[in-house]
Amino acid sequence: MLKSIILAAGKGTRMKSETPKVLHEIFNKTLLSYVIDSVNNTGLADENIVIIGHQAEKVEEYVKKNYSNSKTVVQSPQLGTGHAVSMALPLLENYDGEIIILCGDTPLITSETIKEFVEFHRLEKSDLTVMSAIFDNPANYGRIIRNQDGSLNSIVEEKDATLEQKAVHEVNAGIYCLNWSKIKPAFKDLKSNNAQGEYYLTDIIKWAAGAKLKALAFTLKNNEEIFGINSKENLAKASRYLNNRTLSKLMAQGVTIVDPISTWISPETEIEPDTIIYPSCYIEGKNKIGKNCKIGPFAHLRGDVVLEDNVKIGNFVEVKKTTVKSNTNACHLTYLGDSEIGSNVNIGAGTITANYNPLTKVKSKTIIKDNAKIGSNSVLVAPVTIEEGANVGAVGVITKSIPAWALAITRAPLKIIEGWVKR
C-alpha cells in the first residue's frame, strides 16, 4: 500500500506571477500535473495528498477537477516542509503503509525513477529512504551526510552547514519514502531551531537515527529529473529539458525530427516510425500520429489530435481535437478544430472549420467523409457534414450539410467586362 504527499503550498515569489507556481504550464500541462501523473503512472499509489497554501482555492479547484484519486490539505501558516507534511496527519491517522513525499514544482521526475526508488526502499527493508543526487556544484542544496557503513546520518541545509559539510557533493533531491507507522511520530517532535526558523522535513533523518530506525539514501541516475521551478527562467529550462528528452525518445523509435532545435513535442504525443517532423513545429497535449506522416514546417497541433498513416499536415496548419484518417492532406494555411476527417480527403489552402459560436459559446463539430475535396479559402460553419465524395468549390461558405458526390458553390458568378480598364 502506497500513498503520496505532494508539497505544493509555496508562493513562488520569483515567478513574478499571479498564477500559483505549481499551476504554471509546460506544453499546456501544469507542473503539478506532471508530478501527480508520474506518481499515478507507477501503478503503485492509490491516493495523493496535495499540500496547498498560496492561492489554495485555485490549486484545490484544479486538483478536484482533474484527479479523482487526489485530496488537498491547506497549510496555513507555512512554517516549512516538515510542517507541510504534518498537515496530512489527520488524513493518515489509521494508515499503515508507505508514503512517498515529492515537490509539486519538479515536473521532470519520471515514473520509472519513482518505481526504482520505492523498490530500493522495499528491497533494503529501509524505514526511511531519501533520494539523493551528485552535483559538481552543490550550492544551495541540503547535503547528504552518510555514516561509515553508507547509511544515512542526516541532511544538513546549506545555511546550517559547516565548511566540511558544504564540501560534500551528494545532495538531497527532496523525495522521500517512509514506512509511515514508524516515521509518523517524528512530525510531532520536529523543532524550528535553525537559521530559517522553520520545521525542516530533513530533520526526520536525525530523528530516525535516534529511534534506531534504518535510514538510507538512493542515488538518482539523472540529476535533470529533480530540477525545480522557482523562476520563469527555470520554467524555460525545464521545458527545454523535457522537450529534448521527448525528441530523443521519438528519434530512437524511428521518427525523423529534421531540426530538433526548433521542434517542440509534448511527452504525451505518440508518433510511429517513418513519420517526418519538419522544422518549427509545436505539438502540445496528447496526440497520436501514425506512420509515414509529414508534419510541418510551422505546424501547430494543440492536443487531442489523431492522425492515421500517410497524413500530411503542412505549413501553417493548426489542428485541435480532430481525427484525420489515412492518406488525407491539409497542406497549407488551414485550421481544423473539433473535426472528423475521412480518408483520401484533400483540404485546400486557407480552409477553416468555424467550430465556435462566440454568442452561445458553443463549439460544434465538422465532419468530412472519405474522398471529399474542399476548395481553397473555404469556411465550413459547424455543425456541418460533407458527405462522401462531395466537392466544395473554392471560396465556399458552407452552412448546410452537403450530400454525397455533390458540388457545393457559394460564390457569385464571375463577370468579365471587356475593355473596362482602358475606358
Q: So which residues are the catalytic ones?
A: 332
Which triple of cell numbers denotes residue 201?
522535513
- How far is the CA of 327 from the CAs of 50, 113, 291, 324, 348, in angstroms? 46, 40, 11, 9, 14
* Residue 314 CB burial class (10 angstroms; 0-12, 13-18, ≥19): buried
Burial string for 361-385 (b: 16+ CB within 10 Å, else e) reads eeeebbbbbbbbbbbbbbbbbbebb
Distance of CA 67 to the CA centre of its chain: 14
Neighbours of 405 (CB within 10 A): 12
Which candidate, 85, 179, 171, places its Cα nearest to that of 128?
Answer: 179
> What torsion do the CA atoms of 30, 35, 40, 44 make, to the nearest 10 degrees?
180
Taking the alpha carbons at both ends of the chain, their separation in whole angstroms is 89
Please state, in angstroms and rounded to a whole number, the distance separating the CA atoms of residues 109 and 221.
11
Cα gap 203→225, rounded to integer Å: 24
- 3-state SS, 187-250, equals HHCCCCCCCCCCCCHHHHHHHHHHCCCCEEEEECCCHHHHCCCCCHHHHHHHHHHHHHHHHHHH
Grid cell locating 301: 497541433
